Structures are given as C-alpha cells and as structure tokens.
Structure 1
Amino acid sequence: MVITLLIADDQPIVRAGLAVIFGQAEGIDVVGQASDGREAVELAGRLRPDVVMMDIRMPGMDGVEATRIITADSALNSAVLVVTTFDIDEYVFGALEAGASGFLLKGSDEDTLIAAVRSVAAGDGTLDQRLTRRVISEFNRRRPPPSPVKTNNRYTTLTAREFEILGLLARGLSNREIGEELVIELSTVKYHLAQILTKLDVRDRLQAVVRAFETGLLVPPTR
C-alpha cells in the first residue's frame, strides 16, 4: 500500500529536499507541497493525503492551527507529523493539543524521516525520545494536578497491563522496547495498544498519552 504524503514548509529549498528524499522512498508518494498553513489545509482537503508533514513555524497560519483544522475534519483521515526544534516547547504542546500524531526534530536523517512517516501512517505515531521529557515537563507546568479518575469513568476499564503499557508509552518507548521491558511478545504489545486506543477513543499512541494526562490516568512527574 502506497502512503500519500503532503509536505508543508515555508522554505522552498526544504520542501524540495524533502520531496527528493521521499520521492526515492519505496511506498511513499509525495502528492503535494504547501508553503504555509492555509495552503496545507486547502491541499489536505483536496488531496486527502495519509500523512501531512507540517513545519510548525510558518507565516500567516502556523502549523499548530493548520494541524487543528486538519485533524478536526471528520471527512479527512490525515495524520499530521510535525517538524520542530528543541527550543519551541510552547509550539510542541500546542500541536499536541491540536491532534498531531508525531513529532520529528529538524535535522533528522533520511532513514528517521522515512520511518516516522511510515509509523504515523500505520497509526503508531512517533515522538522523538529527545523530546519526550520536554513534552511531559510542559504538561506538568501547564496543567493543575488532575482530579483522581472516578470509578465510573469509562477510562477505568483499562486493565493493569494496559495502564503499565500506557506509562511506558509516555516515556517514549517503542513497541519493541515495551516488549523487552515487560518481557512479552511484540504481538502482545500491539494487542494491548489496540485496546488502549479503542478505550481512550484516540487513533494513535501519541494522542493516547495526551488523553491520559488530560484525564488524570497518568500524572506528569513533579521533576
């Protein structure tokens, strides 16, 4: 199955470089390029790509607002992979809340870029582990201590194992790393992850972590 990709970046040379990289990647088809958030929204609605690779800082409509509009459109099934840098936690947090399925640091190598697009397209989401601590720290700074989850809350249908896996997701571990940590098969990890996504009513692992913090299922560390 071919993954269709829309690239959104305000720098022509960056768009061209990414188009070359993904044009040579097996199973990925670059269907469009956008120079700002507004054009990204327009092209996403018309081309319906599987993945939108979104620069977070663009003139006019930025990547956060464009992400919010694209992910809120029930007629689309486009996952957004945000490209960011170390020093913009505020934007990272905003894009998380807007529904981004993954984050990638600018300057990532070609293999990482391609793997991230494939991961997001598959519904796994992706979060550069170097960003994980910053993202969790931002949740901790912004959100008041969550109230304990009520016993009648539908999220409490998560099993003990699913809670355990959710916590490892929040640490940025991959499925394989979770399997090694818990000494269980990769297929078992995937099964539990599918159950978590269904119960939390989200479409990927990254948004599962967001939902867990928002509902108090997970509490960001105090440090």
Structure 2
Amino acid sequence: MVPYVTAVVAAVFTIAVGMRYARSRRIALLAWAIGLAMFTVAALAGALAQSGGATESEYRLFYLFGGILNVAWLALGTVIIVSPRFTMTALVLVILLTLVSVGAVFMTPVNLQVALNTGRGFPDGSLPRILAAIGSGVGSLVLIGGALWSAWQFASKRHNGRRALSNVIIALGVIIVAVGGTVTFTGANGILEYTNLAGLAVMFAGFLLA
C-alpha cells in the first residue's frame, strides 16, 4: 500500500514541477521533473513487486530509477541553479551515469530471493552497487548542500525568509530519503518504503512553499 501512495505523491510532484517548468522554461526544473518521474517509476515498480510475484524486471527498474538515477537527476537541477558554470559538465556526467547504469543493471545477475529479503539483489562490489553509491550518495550530498546553500543565501536577504525555509525543508526531505537508502544499502529491510514516502512528502511541501 505504501509504495502505491508514494507513486501517487511522486506523480503529483512530477506534474507540479513539470507545470512550473512549462511556465518558466527553467532547465533546472526540467531536470527535477525527470528525476521525480524516475522516482514515480521506481515506486510503482516496488508496489507491483509487493502486490504479486516479484519479477527481476520490476527489481531492476526499481533499482535503476530509485537506487541510482533519480537522485542524480535531481542533483543536476541543483547544480544548474547553484553553480550554473558547471551545468554542461554535470549534464554530461549524469547522462554517462544513466547510460552506464542501464547497461549494468540489466546485465548483472539478480538474486531475487535476496532482493526480496534484504533489498540487496545485486552482489556486493558489483557495478550496480557502485553506481548506486555514486548516484544516490553523491547526488544526495549535492542536493542537501545545494538546498542549504540556497537557504543561507535567501536568509541573508530581506523578505526571503519563506524561500529560505522552503530550502531547509527540501534538505530535510532529502536527508530522510538518504537515511532510508543508506540503511537499506547496508542490508536492512522494511524501512525504505516509509522513508521514501516521508522524505518525498517533505520535499514536496518545501517545493510548494517556495
């Protein structure tokens, strides 16, 4: 049930960001919309896996979009805003990460039983696990750092307290998602779906406040 709710929240969040992009044509919003769309696909794949007999394809989609790429694309949007001179470099890196990740996730064998029990369907040291550490780990640091930097920038200016608060809330949401991913990465199971929903909802609240 929780993954379905997460998928719905992620889909609504994606639409909200996409609509804002359609009005402003800000490339950062497009990157965020792509990342959130990936979050939606991952949540839906997780929901389908829980509702019936899980398949390797569902796990691969869940891992690709939820474990590696979604945070990386969200981080790209943050880089575009915070450090626009690095936009092209970040874009190239994220596209390369995406291409390599697709190949790695769909070519590396999956232990579906281990995936269902612990969430760690790919072997330790395998390329998908390494890419997840890069995409989600580094991406989360960029998101959190960028949001807090923006919050500090807005807080230092008059009449921007609301936008400063919105960025702090977004950073908090990213931290919640990152904690769940880190715990699951170490082998724990059963917490990720709750931290994903809670973190995503907090991020959405911060976005709406901005």
State if a TM-score over 0.5 links the two structures. no
Bigger relative contact order, structure 1 or 2 (CA pairs below 8 A, ≥6 apart) = 2
Q: TM-score, normalised by structure 1?
A: 0.26
Q: TM-score, normalised by structure 2?
A: 0.27
Higher helix share: 2
Higher strand share: 1
